[in-house]
Structure 1
Amino acid sequence: MADAILDANLRKGHSRSSLREIREAGEIPAVVYGKHVDSLSISVDGKELKKILNSTTGRNTLISMKVNGGKQTVMVKNLQVDPLRHDIQHVDFQQISEDSKIRTVVPIQLVGTSKGVALGGVIQQELRSAEVECLPSQIPDAIKVDISDLEIGDALTVCDLNVASEIKILDHPRSTVVSVAAARASEPEGQPEVAPEPEEEAESKTLEKEQS
């Protein structure tokens, strides 16, 4: 069952001017495609899309899209974002079947306080998301990782992630997810020591001063 509803309008123009007009009207140009349907050029309400993207399920939200007189279940597949203004410029929606497995990316969330951190260690999260394969209704909001028992020098890998049996993680099982490293020794305060000049170089400078 879909988690959100989004209306879409068919669009005909693909020129820069028509795309600019769509964006100025608060809409975002998009395309929806699937294995058994033709691609459709559409536009969606920018505010409604942002609400979906900012929800708990984010890009993995199952959306019931009303388009061309019908409904279809879709998910956000790709986003094009302006690198300077950070505005969404274009969206790719993928039509999905709730009975067919899909691949998507799920964030990894660290839970708890590591024993190693209490002793001065530093948490290093090297993998912040994981690619999974499962039915759309089984996609978790996040994969939670309990780091409470991690001490300095310990690490957790993909094979340590705890997910439901029906969810398959596609990342390499030996990839490091999180580790606890020893804190680096801080530099001593004050001015850095200056190495003494070699004797010959010091004498040479003294002679140059006397001759000047």
Structure 2
Amino acid sequence: MKSLSLKAFPRSLAKRSAVKKLRVTGRVPAIIYGRKIQPQNLEVTLTDIEDLIHQSVSETILVDLAVEGEAKSRRLALVQEVQHHPLSRKVLHVDFHEVAENEKVTVTVPVETTGEAAGVKTGGGVLEHVLFKLKVRALPRELPEVITVDVTRLEIGQSIHLGEIPLPPGVEVIGDKKIPVISVAAPITEAQEAAALEAATTPLAEPDVLKEKKEEGAEQAAAGGAAKPAQKGVEKPSEKPVEKAEKAEKAEKKPEKKK
């Protein structure tokens, strides 16, 4: 991987107010850390870091960092993380991870295809990109920016697995070597499309448990609403005892007619 030059400056203030003022001047707060060094606050010019990001074809960026005022002319580092503003997408903060020339590092690199698969060209198949990024391990300057895979000979039903990916010298891929990275699937027929459409539009059937509960509830409601049968041998009272007594009392108090 080719390293890109970047100039940085020591940063003494880390408070939020100071960081805001720093961004107004056209610089961005940054930090550099590593396995054998203490974290150090830095600042870089906004336009420099944006140009560096645009020049790179990969998310993994290797930089030769020149920190002003340091005796060491260059510090080899990876751009570990870049924070962007959610709306303007301007760079807000940068993390650098210092690495050693002779020590291997693990990074993620993108996978790209070249050529047209035979199964797509002649058989109408569909090229499926299963993995878009691979984790690799190598010395910093031997890291690939991107891994290119030739799919020209790939027929329908065939796959290129992780263990079959061609790698540059000194680069090791990490992961299960049997995992497919790129495949060619058979074309979808009209019958399959119709079946998929029907399955998507057909309402789901209710589970048997819910059906049983609904039927049970309906039966209970029907039973509660029906009139209870009269018991045999028991006459239904025509009047309540209180009403009968009130009628008798009124009959006694009724005045006699004058002659």
Equivalent-residue separation in structure 1 for 2:82 and 2:62 (angstroms): 16
| Structure 2: gaps of 5 or more residues | 199-259
TM-aligned CA deviation for residue 17 of structure 1: 2.4
Larger Rg over CA atoms? 2
Q: Aligned in 2, Cα 1:58/1:155: closer, same or farther, shift over 3 Å?
A: closer
2:161 paired with 1:163 = no
TM-aligned CA deviation for residue 60 of structure 1: 3.4
Partner of 2:155: 151
Structure 1 or 2: larger helix share? 2
Partner of 1:37: 37
Partner of 1:103: 106
Query: What is the one-letter code of the residue matched to 1:113?
Result: E
Partner of 1:136: 140
Tell me the SS of whatever aligns to 2:20: helix
Q: Aligned in 2, Cα 1:132/1:16: closer, same or farther, shift over 3 Å?
A: same
TM-aligned CA deviation for residue 50 of structure 1: 2.1
Higher RCO, Cα 8 Å, sep 6+: 1
TM-score of the pair, normalised by structure 1: 0.79
- Asked if the contact 1:105/1:132 (under 8 Å) is kept, the reply is yes
- Asked if the contact 1:156/1:179 (under 8 Å) is kept, the reply is yes
Partner of 2:48: 48
Q: Aligned in 2, Cα 1:90/1:134: closer, same or farther, shift over 3 Å?
A: same
TM-aligned CA deviation for residue 56 of structure 1: 4.2
Equivalent-residue separation in structure 2 for 1:106 and 1:133 (angstroms): 10
Partner of 2:13: 13
TM-score of the pair, normalised by structure 2: 0.66
| Residue-by-residue CA offset, 1:143-192 (whole Å, 9 max, x unaligned) | 1111111122211111110113421111221222111122334568xxx9
2:88 paired with 1:76 = no
Q: State the number of aligned residues.
A: 189
Structure 1 or 2: larger strand share? 1
2:118 paired with 1:115 = yes
Equivalent-residue separation in structure 2 for 1:134 and 1:7 (angstroms): 25
- Give me the CA root mean square deviation: 2.2
Equivalent-residue separation in structure 1 for 2:86 and 2:160 (angstroms): 34
1:175 to 176, 179, 185: 179
Q: Aligned in 2, Cα 1:12/1:160: closer, same or farther, shift over 3 Å?
A: same
